Amino acid sequence: MAEPTHMLMMAKEHCKAGEHARALEVLRSLASRHDPLPMQAQYARLALTIAQGLEGLPVLRVAFLAGSTLDHLVGALRFWLLLEGFRLEPYLAPFDTWRQEAADPSSGLYSFRPDLVWFFLTARDLKLEALWGDQPQQWQEAAAGRAAEVATLARQVLATLPATVLVNNAEASATRVLGNFEGSVSWSAASLQRRYNLELAQALPAGASVFDLEHLASCFGLERWEDHRLWCHSKHPFSLEAHAPVAFAGAKLIAAAKGKARKCLVLDLDNTLWGGVVGDDGVDGIRVGPDAGAAGEAYAAFQAFAKSLSLRGIALAVCSKNDPDLAREPFRSRQGMALTLDDFAVFRANWDNKADNLRQIARELNLGLEALVFVDDNPAERALVRAELPQVAVPELSADPADYMRVLAEGAWFETLTFVEEDRSRSRAYRDNAARNACLAQSSDLDGYLRSLEMRACWGDADQARLSRLAQLVNKTNQFHLTTTRYSEPELTALSLADDAWVGWFSLSDRFGDHGVIAAVVLRFRGQAALVDTWTMSCRVFSRGMEDFIFLKIWEVAKGRGCTRLEGAFRPTPKNGVVATLYDRLGGSSVQQDCGQESRWHFDLVAPPPDLTHYIADANGSGN
C-alpha cells in the first residue's frame, strides 16, 4: 500500500479533477479512526468537497442538541457518514439549549425536520453531583430524576417528528474526589454516574437508543479523553483526538439505523479459527483450545466470539481453500472447539477463488455482498477479495490471533439499535433457508418444490408484542420495500391505533422451520380508496409466493373497510429493483409512470381479486 501522505495527495488530485467517486475510494482504503488529528482534519475538509461533487447520495438530516461545542465532531461525522454512503446535513441547536429546543414545538429543531435527533449530552450537561452521605433512596431518586427528564424530552421529540433519537449516556471521570473509595459507596459521583446510565437505558421510550459514550471514553482512556483546558477555552466536550473515534462509532450506529449493518460473518479456517493447516497437520495437530498454548486459547476465544454473534442473529459461513471433508472434521471431533457445524448457515470448503465462493454464499443466503464481513489470516486472500468485491468488508488482521476478536469488534460492522425475538432465531433461519435451497437445487419442478415445503402463514393486526419487529422490518429492509418509507416504533404504534390506517403483520413457517414475522404492511384509507403506504418483506422468503398471499390479504382488508379501489406506488432505489414490476404482475393498472421515478398503480376492488397461485395455507383464517 502507498504511504498515507501519498494516498491523501491522490485523493486531493482526484477531487481537483472532478473524480469524486475515485477520491472517496482512496479515502476508504486509507482512513482509520486512529489516524492522527491532522489527517482527520484533512479527511473532514475533503468530505465536504466530495459530498458536494457526488450525485445521488442519500441526505441524512441530523440535529444535535448539546451543551458543548460540536463543530469538530460534526466535521468528523460528515466524513465517516460519507464512507457509509450518506451526505450529512446537520443542525446544531444554539449552545446549551437542548432542553428548550426539545420542549418547544416552534424551535429550530422542529423546523429543521431531521431524520435523526442526537442528544449529545455529557456528564457536565447532566450536573450529576454527589449527595454526600445521603441515604440510598435519595441518590437513586437523583439519578432516576435526571434520566426521566431526558427520556421525557426524547419522548416529546418522537411524538412530534418522524425521527430516530440517540441519547448519550454519561461518561465516567478520571478525577475522583474520594479516590478509590468512590467505588465503595452508593452516594459517590462515580456510583451516581453508573446509576444514571442504568436508569436512562430503562427510561428511554421505543424509538430512542443509548449512544454508549461511557464505553467509548473507557476504550479511549479517560486521562486522554478529558481535556479540561479545551473545555475552559472553547467548551469542547472532550479532547480533539477523541472526536474521530466518537464520530466513527456514531456513523456506524446511524448507518445501522438506516439498514446498513452487516448480516453475515464469513470465516476462513486454517490459521483463522485454529492454528495450523488441517490438511497438513491433521485434526490432532491443529492448535485450538486451552490445552494448545496461548495461540490455541486465542483461537478458541475468537470462535466463542463468533458464536456469540451467531446467537444474536448474525449468520456465520465458512469460505476456505480446503478439502471439504477434512475441513469439517475439526468441528466434529477436535477438543477445544467453540463452534460446531450447526453454527454455520453455509459451509464452502473447496479450491475455488474465494471471491467466487463469497458470491455464492451471498446467493445462498439471499443477501447482498454489502452484508458480508470476510475474515481471513492470509494477506493475499484479503487483497484479492478487496479488489474483486469492494462491497465486502475485510478486516486487516495482525499476525497474532489474540488480536482477531478486538479487530472484528472495533470494526462495528454489526451494530444494531433494536433486538427482538426474531433476532435470536435468525441464524437458525439462515441455516433452514440453506436447506431449502439445497432441496430446490435437487428439484426440477418449482411448483412441486413449493408444495413440498408445506408452508403456513399467520397474519393479523399489529399488536404491542410485534411492533418492535415491524419497526425493524420497515427500517432495515431495502430490497422488498416498495416505497422505502421509514417509520419509528412510536409512529407505527400511532398508525395501528388510527381509524384511517391499518398496520398488519405476516409470519411464515414450513417443514424446515419458522421464519417468524417476515412482512409489514401499512394501509391508509381515504374515502373509498385504500393506499398501500408501506409494504416490506424479508428477503429470506423471496420467491415462495408469500407476496401473492399478502396481496390477497391486503385486498381482503381493504374490501372489508368498504373500499372500492386499491392504490399502490413503487419508488425505485438502488436496492429495490426486485419489486419494480410487482404491481404489474399482480394485475394493476398503471396510472402514472415517471421514467426512473415513482410509478403508481390502481386495482378495482369491485371486481374479483386476481387469480394468484400460491401454496401457502392460511393458518389462522381471518387473522384478526
Whole-angstrom CA distances from 322 to 102, 269, 334, 336, 395 are 58, 9, 17, 21, 21
Per-residue pLDDT band for 134 (boundaries 50, 70, 90) equals low
pLDDT confidence of residue 490: 85
pLDDT confidence of residue 154: 97
pLDDT confidence of residue 449: 87
pLDDT confidence of residue 377: 97
pLDDT tens readout for residues 370-390:
999 999 999 999 999 999 999
Identify each DSSP E strand in 121-258 by its residue range: 164-168, 208-211
Per-residue pLDDT band for 337 (boundaries 50, 70, 90) equals very high
Residue 131 predicted with pLDDT over 70: no
How far is the C-alpha of 523 from the C-alpha of 534, rounded, in Å?
7
Determine the average pLDDT of the residues in 40-65: 92
Residue 130 predicted with pLDDT over 70: no
pLDDT tens readout for residues 542-584:
888 999 999 999 999 999 999 999 999 999 988 898 999 999 9
> Which domains, ranges and CATH numbers included, belong to the chain?
57-257 (3.40.50.1110), 264-410 (3.40.50.1000), 454-618 (3.40.630.30)
pLDDT tens readout for residues 4-29:
888 999 999 999 999 999 999 999 98
pLDDT confidence of residue 440: 75
Q: In what order do the strands lie in the sheet with 164-168?
A: 87-92, 59-66, 116-120, 164-168, 208-211
pLDDT confidence of residue 624: 37
Pairing of strands 346-350, 208-211: unpaired
Average pLDDT of the residues of the chain? 92
CA triple 155-159-162, angle to 5 deg: 115
pLDDT tens readout for residues 196-255:
999 999 999 988 999 999 999 999 999 999 999 999 999 999 999 999 999 999 999 999
**Backbone torsion region of residue 55, taken as left when φ is above 0, otherwise alpha when ψ lies between -120 and 50, otherwise beta:** beta
Q: Which three cell numbers stand for residue 57?
A: 447520495
pLDDT tens readout for residues 512-546:
888 889 999 999 999 999 999 999 999 878 888 99
How far is the C-alpha of 582 from the C-alpha of 591, rounded, in Å?
15
pLDDT tens readout for residues 417-460:
988 777 777 777 787 777 777 777 777 778 888 998 999 999 99
Determine the average pLDDT of the residues in 256-283: 94
How far is the C-alpha of 281 from the C-alpha of 542, rounded, in Å?
43
Within 13 A of 103's CA, how many CA atoms are on the CB side?
Answer: 8
How far is the C-alpha of 442 from the C-alpha of 420, rounded, in Å?
34
Q: In what order do the strands lie in the sheet with 315-321?
A: 346-350, 315-321, 264-267, 372-375
pLDDT tens readout for residues 453-508:
999 999 999 998 899 999 989 988 888 999 989 888 888 999 999 999 999 999 99
pTM of the entire structure?
0.83
pLDDT confidence of residue 476: 84
pLDDT tens readout for residues 323-334:
999 999 999 999
Per-residue pLDDT band for 594 (boundaries 50, 70, 90) equals low
